[in-house]
Structure 1
Amino acid sequence: MTTQTALIVDDEPDIRDLLEITLTRMGITALTAPDLSTARKLLTDHACQLCLTDMNLPDGNGIELVQWIQEHASATPVAVITAYGNMDTAIESLKAGAFDFVSKPVELPRLRELVNSALKLSPPKPDQDEAVDEPGLLLGDSPQIRKLRTQTRKLARSQAPVFISGESGSGKELVARMIHLQGPRRDGPFIAVNCGAIPSELMESEFFGHKKGSFTGAVENKEGLFRSANGGTLFLDEVADLPLAMQVKLLRAIQEKAVRPVGDTKEVPVDIRVLSATHKNLPELVQEGSFRQDLFYRINVIELGVPPLRERCDDVELLSGHILERIAREYECPAAELTPAALKQLKAYDFPGNVRELENILERAYTLCDADRIDADDLHLGNGMRAPDAAPGPGAQALPQEGDRIAVPEGEIDLEGYLESIERQTIEKALEATRWNKTAAAKRLGISFRALRYRLKKLGME
C-alpha cells in the first residue's frame, strides 16, 4: 500500500510538531515547512496528497500558497488554518481554491475528519473532458453544459459552500447531486430539502432535530436534516424562502458546524457540506432586507449558474430522446420518436419551465400521439404560446367553451378529487367490461393503449 504524504506549513514549531504527530499516527508521512519558500520547494520536489498551511507566515500568507498550489500542483488539496472566529479569512481562502479550513486552536477530531476527506479525492485527469455523470444527470453536448460539467468537477474537489442559481426546472438539484457524487463525500448521504415546503413552526425541529418530550407531539427523539446528512451533503433548495428567524439559526449551525436539537442543552457536532439554490434573486432580497446579508455571504462563497434550456437548444434533441426512452420504460410501451417537424418546433420554443417543462410536454405528447411518432401537433405548443407547465393530471378535462353549461355542486368541493374519482370509476368499468384487457378497454374508452397506461400510472391503478 502506497504511503500518503502531507505537507504542514506553519512558523510555530509547537503546532508543526502537534500536526506531524497527529498525521503520523494516521499512517501519513508528514513533511514540514516554516515558510512559503520552503513549502514551494517541498511541493515541487514531492508529490503531496494534502497541504495544511497556517494563514500568517514570515514571507507571505496562506492564501498566496493556495493560489500557487492551484497553478502549480492543482491535484493537491490544501486546507488553511485560520484564527478562531475569523470567518472572513476562511471564506477568502475557500474562494481562492482551498479545499477546506480549520480554526485555531485546532481540534484534533475535526482535523482528522478534514484529512480523511481530502485523502479520498482522486487526482483529476487532465484529458477528462466528459463528465463522470450518473446516468441522466446533466445531459447535453452544448458548450454551456460542457462548461457546467467542468465547473462541477472542480467544485467537487472543494468543501466550499456553493450557491446554485438558475431558473425553475433548469436542473439545480441535479447539479448539486453531481457535485456530491464526484467529491470525497460521495459515499455519504445526499439530503435535499425544499425550504419553502416546511411549515415555519416545524422548521427548527426539521433541521436540527428534537428531544423526546421537548414539545407537544414530540413522542420520540428526532435526528433532523443536519444530522441525517452527517458525513455527506445537505442541499437547501429554495433557500430564499427561509424566514428571518430561521436564517439566524441556520447561519450559526453552518459556522459552528454543530446543531442544538430542540429541548437539548448541548450542541452536537456535524460534518456536512452545504449546497444551496433558489430561482429568486438573492442579492435583491438582501437589499430588501428579507434575506440576511451575513448568511448570503456564508452560503454564496462560490456561485454556480445553471443555464436555461433556451440558451442550449442544441441539447433539446438529446434530452428529448433520453426523456422519451425513460417514459417508455415507465409505461412499459414502445418508445416514440419525434418527427423532424416536432423537433424543429421544440428547438424554437422558449421553455419558460426549462427541462422540467420539456419532460411534461413530451409525457403529454407521448400519451396522445399515434404510431409511436410524435408530430408537431401532438406537442400542443401553439403559435409561440407558452406550453402548460405540467402534463394533464388525473381527471383533466377539456376547457369549457363559451355557451357551455356546467353544473356545479353546492358547497365546497375538492374539484381535483371529484374529477379523479369519476375518471377512476369510468376506467374501472371499462376494464371490468373487457375482463381487464387493457387494449380492449382503451378502445372502449376511445383512447390509445399508451394513454390508458398513462392514466393507470397517474391514478395508481396499475
Structure 2
Amino acid sequence: MARKTRTDKRVLVVDDEVDLAELLELTLLKMGLSVDTANSVAEARHCLDRQRYDFCLTDMRMTDGDGLEVIQYIQSKKLDLPVAVITAYGSTQNAVAALKAGAFDYLAKPVSLEQLRTLIKSALSLDDETDEATTSGQPPRMLLGESPAMKQVLELIDKLARSQAPVYVSGESGSGKERAARLIHAQSARVEKPFVAVNCGAIPENLMESEFFGYRKGAFTGADADRDGFFQAAHGGTLFLDEVADLPLPMQVKLLRAIQERKVRKVGATQEEAVDVRIISATHQNLARCVESGRFRQDLYYRLNVIELHMPPLREMGADVELIARNLLVRLAQQSGQTVPTFAPEALTALRHYAFPGNVRELENMLERALALCDGALIVADDLQINPAAESTREGGALDVTDSLQDYLDRVERAAILDALEKTSGNRTQAAKVLGVTFRSFRYRMERLGI
C-alpha cells in the first residue's frame, strides 16, 4: 500500500504485523514522508525492484524470513539505502547482527515513536531545528541554546570532534548527554562509521561480557552461532557507554583491558581481535565520588575521563528555556498534525521560574501534555500543570514546603514514577528509560515508596 504526501522522500516499511505496520506508516506520513508498506520479505523485494526509496524500516522476524535478508538484498542490488531494523526487546544479539550486516540503526520493541522520529530525521536530514546546517553540508546541530553555558558546550564539542581521546560527559538526567555524544560523533572523522549507544544499567550482569565482546559458538548453552558484541558493532566508529557508573566491578576490569589493549576476546575464544572504537561515556552520577566510595575503579575512571564535557542543567540556561520550549513545541505539534499554539505571557513566566529537575526531557513531557490540554491556539500557565510547590525562581527563591524535606521529595518522586508508568502503559523498563534511571534503581524506588 502506498500513500502520497508533499515530500519527495519515500520510506519502505516491512512488517508482517499489520497493526504495527499501519502505526509506523501513520507516524511517517505525519512527518510528511511518502510511505510504502510490505508485509513480507518477498513483498519487500518486489517493492525494492520497482521503486526507489530513501529509507527502509524492517522488522527482524517475519513469517517468510527476517530483516537481515532485506538488508542483504539491498546490498546485493547496490542500493544507496539506509536500513533500520526493529528487534524484540532485549534481543541485543539481533541488534548487533543487524548493525554488522550494514543496518543504519535499530529500534527495540515496543517501538518508541519518538525514537523512530529521531532516527528518521537523522537518516534523512529532516531535523527541523537544523535545516540550515543540513543544506550547508555540515553535520546537524543536535543541541539548542544561545546562553554562555551552551555556547561553551558547543565550542568544546567542536574541539572534541577533531580528537580521538575518550570523552566523559557529565550532567543531570535529561540534560542531553547522549545528544552531545552523537554530535561529537557526527562532526568527527568517524561519522561514516557506526555510533553504538549502550545503557550499561540495562544489561544483566551475567550477560555483560558476551554483550560487550561477543561469543563463539558453543561457549555456553544457547550459543548456537558466533556472535559479535558492541565493540565489534562499533568498529571504526564510536561506542557510547551511558550510565557507565552502573557497571559492576568485574566488568570494569574487562572494559579497562579492552580500552588499554584495543583488543577484545569473545567468550569461548582463545584469540583476541583488534577493535578500533572511540569511547564516550556518561552518567548522571558523580563518577569521582563513585571512585571515592569504591564503586568505580580509579584506573578506569582516568581512562574514561581524559576530557570531561559537562552538560548544564536547564535551570542554568537562562533565556534558552524559552528558545528550547518553542522549538520543542513546533516539533511536537507537527508530529501530532496540530497547528502550533503560542505561549501566553504567564506560561512563559512559569517556565522561566521552574527549576526543571528532569531538564529537557521533563520540558518535552510537559509541553506534550500542554499541547493536549490547550485550546489549540494558546498555551496558558494552567496547561503546563506546574505544581506551585515545585516552582523555584532563578534568583534563589526557596521551595514552599509545609512537610519535611524527605516527605516532599518522596511525594515528587512518587508522582514522577506514576506519571512515567502511565505514559508507558505500566511498562517498568520503558518507564525507567523515560525517567533516565536504570531499571534496578527504578525497581528499588518503587519498592521503597510502596508503589
Report the TM-score when normalising by structure 2. Answer: 0.57
- Residue 295 of structure 1 is matched in structure 2 by 300
- Residue 235 of structure 1 is matched in structure 2 by 240
1:286 to 284, 291, 295: 291
| 2:203 is equivalent to residue 193 of structure 1 | no
Instruction: Report Cα offsets for 1:310-344 as digits up to 9, x if no partner.
Output: 00021111111111111112212222221111011
SS of alignment partner, residue 196 of structure 2:
strand
SS of alignment partner, residue 163 of structure 2:
coil
Instruction: Report Cα offsets for 1:348-384 as digits up to 9, x if no partner.
Output: 1001111111001111111111133111011111214
2:426 to 416, 419, 424: 416
In structure 2, relative to structure 1, the CA distance for the partners of 1:142 and 1:348 (3 Å cut) is same
Q: Distance in 2 between matches of 1:333 and 1:259?
A: 50
CA contact (8 A) 1:160 1:273 kept: yes
CA contact (8 A) 2:190 2:238 kept: yes
CA contact (8 A) 1:132 1:182 kept: no
Q: Distance in 1 between matches of 2:236 and 2:425?
A: 45
1:271 to 262, 273, 276: 276
- Residue 316 of structure 1 is matched in structure 2 by 321
| 2:161 is equivalent to residue 156 of structure 1 | yes
CA contact (8 A) 2:355 2:390 kept: no
In structure 2, relative to structure 1, the CA distance for the partners of 1:294 and 1:209 (3 Å cut) is same
- Residue 218 of structure 2 is matched in structure 1 by 213
CA contact (8 A) 1:236 1:276 kept: yes
SS of alignment partner, residue 191 of structure 1:
strand
Q: Distance in 1 between matches of 2:273 and 2:187?
A: 27
SS of alignment partner, residue 234 of structure 1:
strand
| Alpha-carbon distance, 1:293 to partner | 0.6
Q: CA RMSD in A?
A: 2.4
Q: How many residues are aligned here?
A: 271
| 2:354 is equivalent to residue 349 of structure 1 | yes
Q: How does 1:57-136 map to 2 (within 5 A)?
A: 134-135=139-140
Q: Which residue identity lines up with residue 256 of structure 1 in the other structure?
A: E
SS of alignment partner, residue 239 of structure 2:
strand
Q: Which residue identity lines up with residue 309 of structure 1 in the other structure?
A: L
Q: Which residue identity lines up with residue 240 of structure 1 in the other structure?
A: A
| Alpha-carbon distance, 1:283 to partner | 1.0
Q: Which residue identity lines up with residue 426 of structure 2 in the other structure?
A: E
Q: Distance in 2 between matches of 1:392 and 1:328?
A: 21
Q: How does 1:330-349 map to 2 (within 5 A)?
A: 330-349=335-354
In structure 2, relative to structure 1, the CA distance for the partners of 1:195 and 1:222 (3 Å cut) is same
Structure 1 runs of 4+ with >4 Å offset: 131-136, 386-396
Q: Distance in 1 between matches of 2:314 and 2:181?
A: 18
Q: Distance in 1 between matches of 2:322 and 2:166?
A: 33
Instruction: Report Cα offsets for 1:195-254 as digits up to 9, x if no partner.
Output: 000000110011000111110111222110000000000000000000000000000000
1:374 to 372, 379, 392: 379
Larger Rg: 1
Q: Which residue identity lines up with residue 142 of structure 1 in the other structure?
A: S
| Alpha-carbon distance, 1:135 to partner | 4.5
In structure 2, relative to structure 1, the CA distance for the partners of 1:256 and 1:415 (3 Å cut) is closer
- Residue 255 of structure 1 is matched in structure 2 by 260
SS of alignment partner, residue 235 of structure 1:
strand
Aligned sequence identity (%): 55
Q: Distance in 2 between matches of 1:195 and 1:210?
A: 18
| 2:363 is equivalent to residue 358 of structure 1 | yes
SS of alignment partner, residue 139 of structure 1:
coil
1:305 to 310, 325, 334: 310
SS of alignment partner, residue 206 of structure 1:
helix
Q: Distance in 1 between matches of 2:340 and 2:364?
A: 14
| Alpha-carbon distance, 1:161 to partner | 0.5
Q: Distance in 1 between matches of 2:160 and 2:418?
A: 35
CA contact (8 A) 2:341 2:379 kept: yes
| 2:186 is equivalent to residue 181 of structure 1 | yes
In structure 2, relative to structure 1, the CA distance for the partners of 1:307 and 1:132 (3 Å cut) is farther
Unaligned runs of 5+ in 2: 1-132, 392-411, 428-451
Q: Distance in 1 between matches of 2:417 and 2:353?
A: 19
Q: Distance in 1 between matches of 2:215 and 2:313?
A: 40
Instruction: Report Cα offsets for 1:387-435 as digits up to 9, x if no partner.
Output: 8648956867xxxxxxxxxxxxxxxxx9938xxxxxxxxxxxxxxxxxx
Instruction: Report Cα offsets for 1:168-202 as digits up to 9, x if no partner.
Output: 10000011111111111111110011100000011
Q: Distance in 2 between matches of 1:132 and 1:323?
A: 24
Q: Which residue identity lines up with residue 273 of structure 2 in the other structure?
A: V
